Chain A
Amino acid sequence: MDTVKQAAVTDANQFIVVELGAEYYGIDISNVDNIVKMQSITRVPKSQEYFNGVINLRGEIVPVMSLRRKFNLDDDEFTDKTRIIILKPEQQEPIGVIVDMVKEVVTLTEDNIEKISVDTKDDKAKYLNGVGKNGDILISILNIANVISDEQ
């Protein structure tokens, strides 16, 4: 945690880079509680369409949502690389998001992140904080607060 805090003090943050379809997304590491392998998910009837259900995480019930469904991508295909990233934003209950695979952890400075202008045509824009560049790879930085909020 200390390193994360230090990183936050300088203007460089660490991000977990995950793969979703052909794209890379970055999740600020300070929001991440845990990364677990795919496990059996109990479907919750009548819930929002993008929720896969709930899992048992060491005795806690944690809801799990599909980022693919939320972003209107093709539905998940679970492989042995599929991971559930448990997010625990400050002062909030944990929530899991399903990603195709976890690639690496990168450190990006403010300079490497380009803010994107809010494009009204693209619903997805509000889920993003910006686009980071790590070498040749473009990483869409997720706005976690908006991703886990209820609005679509």
Chain B
Amino acid sequence: MDVSQYLEIFIDETKEHLQNLNEQLLIIEKEPDNTDTINEIFRAAHSLKGMAGTMGYKRMQKLTHQMENVFSEIRNGKMKVDANLVDILFQCLDALEEYLDNIQEAADEGTNDNEPILKELDAILNGESAKQVEEESKKEENADKPKDGDGDIRKYKEFVYSDFEIHAVQEAFDKGLKVYAITVQVDETCLLKAARAFLVFKSLESVGEIIKSQPSVQDIEDEKFDQMFSICIISDNPLDKVIGVIKNVSEIKEAVGEEISKIEDIKPKEEKEVKEEKEEKKAETAASDAKKPEAKKPAAKPKAGGKPVVNRSVRVDIEKLDVLMNLVSELIIAKNGLISTSSDGTGNNSQSFNEQIEYLERVTTNLHESVMKVRMMPIETVTQKFPRMIRDLSKKLDKKMELVMTGEDTELDRTVIDEIGDPLMHLLRNSADHGLESAEVRAQRGKPEVGTVKLDAYQDGNNVIIEVSDDGNGIDVEAVRNKALEKGSITQEQADAMTDKEVIDLLFRPSFSTAKKVTDVSGRGVGLDVVKSKVESLGGDIEVKTQLGEGSTFVIRLPLTLAIIQALMVELGEEKYAISLGSIQTIEDIPVEDIKYVQTKEVINLRGTVIPLIRLDSVLDIESKEKPDSLTVVIVKKGDKLAGMVVDRLLGQQEIVIKSLGKYISNSSKIISGATILGNGEVALIIDVNTLL
């Protein structure tokens, strides 16, 4: 069978399964008795085996088969999960990933048989249950069968009908039509279950009307079902014919059903409800049995569907999206041109013209947002591999640590997502290696034995903030200062004059590492400077907050969009500038006499908050002739810092397309983040207020 056309699907699905396995293994390491997780792992290993087998990857199949055997032992309670076993299983996953990498590159799994791992798995199987093994594997098969086999296939019996569906059935009876409940089982080796299911639905439409399916049609389309799905169909054909139609679809293993003859059959019975309640209770007790019910529940829940991260999707080349985005940009510029022509004040524009323009504006804004959204991905796609990394680091460094992640659903532009993974990984490694102290030191300081590394992502206006923090040692400013002196990066005078913040900024200079010894994990002196330049190349910035002895936090600020923003247009002298609306808090009129001086710097007291004033005209070397009695002050915000930007005039809000200034013009101060083309063809520069705070 030529399977090359399925290669991409195979690679994607394998990746998902491996990621899933990684996550589940991490859970099971903490909660060895979690049956849900064990089942999930078993299923994933089983699917992997099936897929690898179908694609003809024998080595991969062999390895997964062995894994599956181990899990079936665990599932049957014949074997306990211990640290050693989890380690080996992680090795298995690494080996599988290696196969997958090979397949991705050369469509071949490579020649590594991974004998040692296979042997270890064998040893585990034999050691733990040497005599039972054969028996058990047989039993296992038997135990497995009834579930998938014919005996228990009539899943439609578990149907719970809603009032609406009962009504529909009643109507069908009234019309003299027949109603069947059918369960369809897809072949185990079927690669495109959803497509098969779709064909079944499609062909059934020719013989009747489907009123119910379990799981829902949406879930079936998303392949969120195992091997079986059940439907309820209204038809005027006999049952045999309907079943025949289903079986005509290839790769359908079995279809069984029966006629529903009385409306009472499907009415919810007391008994049924009781049973359900019982089941719910069971689930609840199972959950509370586990050691950490809170931790487990959210982790297990989204996985139930089988496809947590990837939604129903179409693959689109990112370049095509770029083209689309550029077109949207052009459209917005053209629209701005129309607006400026219409407001040029000839006065004879009809009202309907303005209405049309407003309509166009709405459409372009929505279009822009949609295109942006298409390019957005949850940050989860990069963070999901971190728990495993921290686990490995924990073993390697022999420090106990725990990774807490929040806000993984925060969305970022695809191009940013692709680039941000490595810097984040680096920061996490840094925190784990340099940040967290050894167990003894932690004990001395009265900190919990297990160190915490946190990754927190959230949206803040037009920015996305990612914070990587630890409750470790914090940055020793004096050590950094001395090290810089020692290395000759700064002179003694400079060292004396530097503030703590400036010293910490030294860490971001190339070839600066304070780790006393070079470890495997980090400390080769390539690091924070790379992180910084990467973040800056994405239009963001990074800063550090630290408290010696208590920990440090790296704050990465990234722009939400790279292309189009809402901006406030302001005028300074004769020049026009744009300020991103996302950073603006308020706009105030401040009488000149309200300006106070603190350390010879201008400040204003705005409703109890002292805010420094920044004269944009002097920052931007603009000669300002006007000496007004009252200043127009745009209050901007970065994190928890505020500042007031003094401008000459406000021109209004506008949607602007960000264009780069190119590489010729040096922009060392980074005040100007780009340029935009106004409706009348003029160029206005965009001020990045973050650099002024």
Which chain A residue lies CB-closest to B683? A42
Stretch at the interface among A55-63, A103-111, A125-133, A138-146: A55-63
B659 CB contacts on chain A under 8 angstroms: 60-61
CB distance from B65 to the nearest CB of A (A): 53
Q: Would you list which residues of chain A between 57 and 71 have a CB under 8 Å from chain B? A: 59-63, 65
One digit per residue, 1 when the CB lies within 8 angstroms of any chain A CB and 0 when it does not, for chain B 615-627 equals 0000111100000
A121 CB contacts on chain B under 8 angstroms: none
B675 and A61 form a contact (CB under 8 A): yes
Which chain A residue lies CB-closest to B621? A45
A46 and B675 form a contact (CB under 8 A): no
State A61–B619 Cα separation when bound (angstroms): 23
* B675, B681, B683, B685, most chain A CB atoms within 10 A: B683
Supposing A40-B682, A59-B333 touch, asked if A54 and B675 sit within 8 A by C-beta, the answer is yes
A95 at interface by CB-CB < 8 Å:
yes
One digit per residue, 1 when the CB lies within 8 angstroms of any chain A CB and 0 when it does not, for chain B 670-692 equals 01100101000111110000000
A112 CB contacts on chain B under 8 angstroms: none
CB distance from A73 to the nearest CB of B (A): 20
Stretch at the interface among B136-144, B442-450, B661-669: B661-669
CB distance from B482 to the nearest CB of A (A): 35
B683 and A54 form a contact (CB under 8 A): yes
A4 at interface by CB-CB < 8 Å:
no
A63 and B672 form a contact (CB under 8 A): no
A63 and B662 form a contact (CB under 8 A): yes
- B666 interface neighbour in A42, A43, A47, A55, Cβ under 8 Å: A47
Which chain B residue lies CB-closest to A150? B666
B660 at interface by CB-CB < 8 Å:
yes
State A46–B664 Cα separation when bound (angstroms): 13
- A46 interface neighbour in B333, B669, B682, Cβ under 8 Å: B669
Size of the chain B interface, CB-CB below 8 angstroms: 27
B150 at interface by CB-CB < 8 Å:
no
B685 CB contacts on chain A under 8 angstroms: 42, 44-45, 54
B622 CB contacts on chain A under 8 angstroms: 45
B662 and A46 form a contact (CB under 8 A): no
B575 at interface by CB-CB < 8 Å:
yes
State A54–B664 Cα separation when bound (angstroms): 11
B8 CB contacts on chain A under 8 angstroms: none
Supposing A45-B672, A56-B682, A59-B333 touch, asked if A150 and B662 sit within 8 A by C-beta, the answer is no
B682 CB contacts on chain A under 8 angstroms: 40, 42, 56
CB distance from A148 to the nearest CB of B (A): 7
B664 CB contacts on chain A under 8 angstroms: 51, 63, 65, 93, 95, 148, 150
A48 at interface by CB-CB < 8 Å:
yes
A55 and B683 form a contact (CB under 8 A): yes
B330 at interface by CB-CB < 8 Å:
yes
A59 and B661 form a contact (CB under 8 A): no
A61 and B661 form a contact (CB under 8 A): yes
State A76–B325 Cα separation when bound (angstroms): 39
A63 CB contacts on chain B under 8 angstroms: 661-662, 664-665
One digit per residue, 1 when the CB lies within 8 angstroms of any chain A CB and 0 when it does not, for chain B 110-137 equals 0000000000000000000000000000
B667 and A46 form a contact (CB under 8 A): yes
CB-based A-B contact count at 8 angstroms: 70
A59 CB contacts on chain B under 8 angstroms: 330, 333, 677
- A93 interface neighbour in B619, B662, B672, B681, Cβ under 8 Å: B662
A45 and B661 form a contact (CB under 8 A): no
State A60–B623 Cα separation when bound (angstroms): 28
B660 and A61 form a contact (CB under 8 A): yes
* B662, B664, B671, B675, most chain A CB atoms within 10 A: B664
- A42 interface neighbour in B330, B575, B660, Cβ under 8 Å: B575
- B677 interface neighbour in A46, A53, A56, A95, Cβ under 8 Å: A56
A47 and B683 form a contact (CB under 8 A): no
A40 CB contacts on chain B under 8 angstroms: 682
- A51 interface neighbour in B665, B668, B669, B677, Cβ under 8 Å: B665
- B671 interface neighbour in A43, A45, A62, A65, Cβ under 8 Å: A45
Which chain A residue lies CB-closest to B620? A45
- A62 interface neighbour in B330, B662, B684, Cβ under 8 Å: B662
B665 and A44 form a contact (CB under 8 A): yes
A46 CB contacts on chain B under 8 angstroms: 620-621, 667-669, 671-672
State A46–B665 Cα separation when bound (angstroms): 9
- B684 interface neighbour in A42, A45, A95, Cβ under 8 Å: A42
Supposing A63-B662, A93-B663, A148-B664 touch, asked if A56 and B671 sit within 8 A by C-beta, the answer is no
B681 CB contacts on chain A under 8 angstroms: 56
CB distance from A37 to the nearest CB of B (A): 14
CB distance from A90 to the nearest CB of B (A): 15
A42 CB contacts on chain B under 8 angstroms: 575, 675, 682-685
Supposing A43-B575, A46-B621, A56-B681 touch, asked if A95 and B662 sit within 8 A by C-beta, the answer is yes
A93 CB contacts on chain B under 8 angstroms: 662-664
One digit per residue, 1 when the CB lies within 8 angstroms of any chain B CB and 0 when it does not, for chain A 7-33 equals 000000000000000000000000000
CB distance from B635 to the nearest CB of A (A): 22
A150 CB contacts on chain B under 8 angstroms: 664, 666
B330 CB contacts on chain A under 8 angstroms: 59
Which chain A residue lies CB-closest to B575? A43
* A47, A51, A60, most chain B CB atoms within 10 A: A47
State A142–B685 Cα separation when bound (angstroms): 31
State A69–B288 Cα separation when bound (angstroms): 77
State A44–B577 Cα separation when bound (angstroms): 11
Which chain A residue lies CB-closest to B670? A46
A44 CB contacts on chain B under 8 angstroms: 661, 665, 667, 672, 685
State A48–B619 Cα separation when bound (angstroms): 16
State A59–B326 Cα separation when bound (angstroms): 11
Which chain B residue lies CB-closest to A148? B664
CB distance from A89 to the nearest CB of B (A): 11
Q: Would you list which residues of chain A between 62 and 91 have a CB under 8 Å from chain B? A: 62-63, 65
B661 and A54 form a contact (CB under 8 A): yes
B669 CB contacts on chain A under 8 angstroms: 46
CB distance from A113 to the nearest CB of B (A): 27
B620 CB contacts on chain A under 8 angstroms: 45-46
Supposing A45-B620, A46-B621 touch, asked if A56 and B662 sit within 8 A by C-beta, the answer is no
7 contacts between A and B (CB under 8 A): A42-B684, A61-B659, A63-B661, A63-B665, A93-B664, A95-B662, A150-B664
Known pairs A48-B665, A54-B683, A63-B665; list 4 more (Cβ under 8 Å): A47-B666, A62-B662, A95-B664, A148-B664
Q: Which 5 A-B pairs have the closest CB atoms?
A: A42-B683, A45-B620, A61-B659, A47-B665, A46-B669
